[in-house]
Amino acid sequence: MSLPTKQQLAIGVIGTGGMGTRHAINLHRFVPGARVAAVYDLDGGRAAQAAAQSGGGVVFTDPLELIQDPSIEAVLIAAPDDIHARLTLACLEAGKPVLCEKPLATVVPDALAVVEAEVRIGSRLVSVGFMRRFDPEHVAVRTLGHSGAIGAPLLFKGVHRNASAAFGVTGATILINSAGHDIDSARWMLGSEVAEVRVLGRRSRPDLHADTRDLLVVELGFASGALAVVEVYVNAAYGYEVSAELVCQSGAAMTQQPDRALVRAAAHRGFPVPSDWLSRFQEAYVLELMDWVAAVREGRVFTGASAWDGLVTLLVTGACIQSLEGGAVVPLSLPTRPTLYGA
């Protein structure tokens, strides 16, 4: 039995490409207490299509009008990376809760402006879409690592592979757009802050643009003494895979790709590899939305990533870009965490 429309949180979705459309459909089909009341995309046809697939919300022609419309109670941003901070700030100005897709911004000053605005308001309105924090496999690894049953966490090992990337993709773009997930994952799994970084990058094939760095190895040293090593390879060809392992003092725990079926075909027996994040992390996206909607409705804090996590990820990313360009270990000292974001 669903709630009457008036009791459902009225959400406006900005950006209805692959990710935004998936969020809109997930909200419509799987999230109790929410409805997609409005959508906006620069491409009006896409917005109309997403609205039709998610309950028939109003199609806006201006994102600021959507944010300011009194009937819209919360906003989900899945527009391109470089306008996330601007739209998030507009939501804060309107006093509306917002789930912003990662990254919170593409440059540190923009992310800092969001944190400063939120601290000024004194209320946690901003959530950031690092959905691995809701992936049951990642949660299981973190829970075991933090239980003490296998000792303290020493090392995070991540693998992040995409089937293919746009031609000419630079190391900096990969660090901002993809590796941010891994940086957030390592901080969240290890429960500590990054103190130093080193990044090496290679071009995987000679036919790629000379500046391409599509294979990165990211090394992070944490204030706790723990370490992280992450492979980010965006032209892995065979499919999309993410894994995270936590090596502790007396044991280790590792995520398993959720395997839906054992397939026997063409003289092989094995498990299919997903082609992209939308299928691998579907459960995490739904759990993330369920928690966000429940948090807004109950007036509590979202259990996922905050604006502070978005800012810190970007500061670490900036140090990673510096290291990739200069080849050195880059030390990092973070600003003091505002009390709004807890201990």
Ligand X SMILES: NC(=O)c1ccc[n+]([C@@H]2O[C@H](COP(=O)([O-])OP(=O)(O)OC[C@H]3O[C@@H](n4cnc5c(N)ncnc54)[C@H](O)[C@@H]3O)[C@@H](O)[C@H]2O)c1
Q: Does the protein bind ligand X through residue 212 (CB under 6 A)?
A: no
Q: Does the protein bind ligand X through residue 304 (CB under 6 A)?
A: no
- Least Cβ distance, residue 218 to ligand X (angstroms): 18
CA distance 25 to 39: 12
* Binds ligand X by CB under 6 A, chosen from 177, 212, 306, 323: 177
Read off the tokens for 175: 């660090």
* Binds ligand X by CB under 6 A, chosen from 3, 5, 7, 18: 18
Collect contacts of 64-69 with beta carbons under 8 A, ≥24 apart: 64/90, 66/12, 66/14, 66/38, 66/39, 66/40, 67/12, 67/14, 67/91, 67/94, 67/96, 68/94, 69/12, 69/38
Between residue 64 and residue 83, which ones bind ligand X under the rule CB under 6 A?
78-81, 83
Does residue 24 contact residue 54 with C-beta atoms inside 8 Å?
A: yes
Does residue 235 contact residue 162 with C-beta atoms inside 8 Å?
A: yes
Q: Which is nearer to ligand X, 222 or 308 (CB)?
A: 308
Q: Does the protein bind ligand X through residue 63 (CB under 6 A)?
A: yes
Q: Does the protein bind ligand X through residue 248 (CB under 6 A)?
A: no
Q: Does the protein bind ligand X through residue 12 (CB under 6 A)?
A: no
Q: Does the protein bind ligand X through residue 234 (CB under 6 A)?
A: no
* Binds ligand X by CB under 6 A, chosen from 20, 57, 171, 304: 20
Read off the tokens for 253: 């725990």
- Least Cβ distance, residue 178 to ligand X (angstroms): 9
- Least Cβ distance, residue 260 to ligand X (angstroms): 19
Nearest to 137 by CA among 37, 18, 256, 217: 256
SS3 286: helix
Does residue 26 contact residue 19 with C-beta atoms inside 8 Å?
A: no
Q: What is the number of other CB atoms lying within 10 angstroms of the CB of residue 336? A: 5
* Binds ligand X by CB under 6 A, chosen from 28, 35, 46, 133: 46
Between residue 97 and residue 156, which ones bind ligand X under the rule CB under 6 A?
101-102, 129, 131
Binding site for ligand X (CB under 6 A): 14-20, 41-43, 46, 63, 78-81, 83, 101-102, 129, 131, 177, 277, 281
